[in-house]
């Protein structure tokens, strides 16, 4: 392909672009994709987000050709399909049939927003998605007159479904909203339908005495009364205890239970936290934030509560914040295994788009070039390289 020049009145000449390459607005060279390396090394862009800075400076929408964008999108689609994260037409239809033939678009958007978005993006209209799934289209809106509201409540009760407000709203958000407009509170709508609200209400009113009695009952039954366990087991009871007593420790103390005896983790002092971080460092383990959060999230949470930031914790432990990460030892076997794992997962293997820069540096150091490392791992470099357009040449 020969790159031609196009003269613009009152401006500089720019190379014409097509679907196979784009032109750098600074040096006028043609590329399949303007990379981070080119912008940083050639034009002195800042290393943090140079492509976004380039796009914003020239008000561009993309820094790569349509061909590269299509290849990248297809690669991501294949990866997501292998991982079960892509919404294909077949998967959408299966999920719609599993949801039920009488599911309305509004109810589906509330329960499964990702599926509803995939339906709109793939089929355009809810009516077309229903036809593809093989069931009748159900319009999401209903004219809620007082008689229709009362009949719907009675029908749910006869069918054995819960008619408390939360359960009804989970099934159909329009019915409770319409009932509030026509009757006021949900209890008034239930009374108009001849139903005693107290008999169908599932929420329990927790008084001070009720909270204390429940804590003592759980203690006698041998249940775990720690903060985390109680919150996960019964969120409503836990929230009521906090409202009544201000804190879970105060509720336990009012029930005659020592909060210190039911805690899963002992209270840590500032010296103990700093000593724990130093111990991790002496053991030869990385103490940067990401590694510590994976290894001991409770220690990290306690340090953040006490010292407000992880860098402050590192300083108190006598460790320079930037030195918390231990250098990764890239052996030849590890380099080969990383390249093969990257190919197996469908990740990019061209030198510009490999995310782990330490892998590229180690492979170049040990094998002389990235292509040599790819060949040693059994990967053909020509299959992963983003080539320039055929016939490309640099103009003087």
Domain boundaries, the chain: 5-63, 146-200, 208-262, 270-323, 332-384
In Å, the largest CA–CA distance within the chain is 89
Instruction: Please say whether the beta carbons of 263 and 227 come within 8 A.
Output: yes
Rounded distance between C-alpha atoms, residue 208 and residue 392, angstroms: 80
Question: CA angle at residue 79 from 78 to 82, to 5 degrees?
Answer: 85
pLDDT confidence of residue 87: 81
**Contact indicator for 215, 255 with CB cutoff of 8 Å:** yes
In this predicted structure, what is the pLDDT of residue 328?
A: 61
In angstroms, rounded to a whole number, what is the distance separating the alpha carbons of residues 137 and 123? 14
Q: Which residues of the chain have pLDDT under 50?
A: 1-16, 388-390, 392, 395-396
Q: Phi and psi dihedrals of 182, rounded to 5?
A: -90, -40
Residue 211 CA, distance from chain mean position: 37
What is the predicted pLDDT for the residue at 325? 55
pLDDT at 74: 84
Confirm whether pTM is higher than 0.75. Answer: no
Q: Which pLDDT score is estimated for 143?
A: 73
pLDDT tens, 318-377?
888 766 555 567 788 888 888 888 888 887 888 777 777 678 888 888 888 888 888 898
In terms of C-beta density within 10 A (0-12 exposed, 13-18 middle, 19 or more buried), how is residue 284 classed?
Answer: exposed
CA distances (Å), origin 10, targets 7, 13, 59, 207: 9, 10, 19, 79
N residues, the chain: 396
């Amino acid at each position: 392909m020969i790159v031609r020049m196009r003269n613009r009145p009152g401006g500089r000449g720019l190379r014409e672009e097509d679907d196979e390459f784009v032109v750098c607005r600074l040096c006028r060279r043609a590329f399949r994709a303007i990379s981070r390396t080119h912008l940083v090394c050639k034009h002195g862009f800042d290393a943090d987000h140079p492509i976004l800075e380039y796009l914003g400076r020239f008000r561009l929408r993309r820094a790569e050709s349509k061909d590269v964008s299509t290849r990248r999108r297809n690669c991501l689609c294949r990866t997501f399909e292998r991982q079960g994260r892509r919404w294909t037409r077949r998967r959408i239809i299966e999920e719609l049939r599993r949801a039920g033939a009488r599911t309305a678009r509004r109810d589906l958007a509330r329960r499964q927003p990702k599926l509803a978005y995939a339906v709109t993006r793939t089929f355009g209209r809810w009516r077309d998605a229903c036809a593809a799934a093989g069931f009748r289209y159900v319009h999401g809106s209903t004219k809620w007159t007082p008689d229709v509201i009362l009949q719907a409540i009675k029908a749910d009760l006869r069918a054995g479904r819960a008619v408390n407000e939360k359960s009804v709203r989970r099934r159909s958000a329009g019915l409770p909203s319409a009932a509030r407009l026509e009757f006021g509170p949900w209890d008034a709508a239930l009374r108009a339908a001849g139903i005693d609200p107290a008999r169908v209400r599932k929420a329990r009113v927790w008084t001070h005495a009720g909270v204390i009695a429940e804590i003592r009952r759980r203690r006698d039954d041998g249940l775990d009364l720690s903060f985390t366990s109680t919150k996960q087991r019964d969120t409503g009871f836990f929230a009521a205890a906090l409202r009544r007593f201000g804190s879970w420790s105060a509720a336990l103390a009012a029930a005659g239970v020592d909060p210190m005896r039911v805690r899963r983790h002992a209270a840590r002092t500032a010296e103990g936290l700093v000593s724990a971080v130093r111990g991790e460092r002496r053991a030869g383990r990385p103490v940067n934030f990401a590694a510590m959060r994976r290894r001991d999230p409770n220690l990290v949470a306690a340090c953040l509560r006490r010292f407000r930031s992880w860098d402050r914790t590192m300083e108190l432990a006598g460790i320079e914040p930037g030195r918390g990460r231990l250098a990764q030892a890239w052996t030849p076997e590890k380099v080969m295994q990383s390249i093969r794992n990257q190919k197996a997962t469908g990740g990019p293997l061209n030198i510009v788009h490999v995310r782990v820069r330490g892998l590229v540096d180690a492979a170049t150091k040990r094998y002389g070039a990235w292509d040599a490392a790819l060949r040693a791992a059994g990967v053909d470099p020509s299959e992963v390289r983003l080539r320039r357009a055929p016939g490309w040449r640099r103009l003087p």
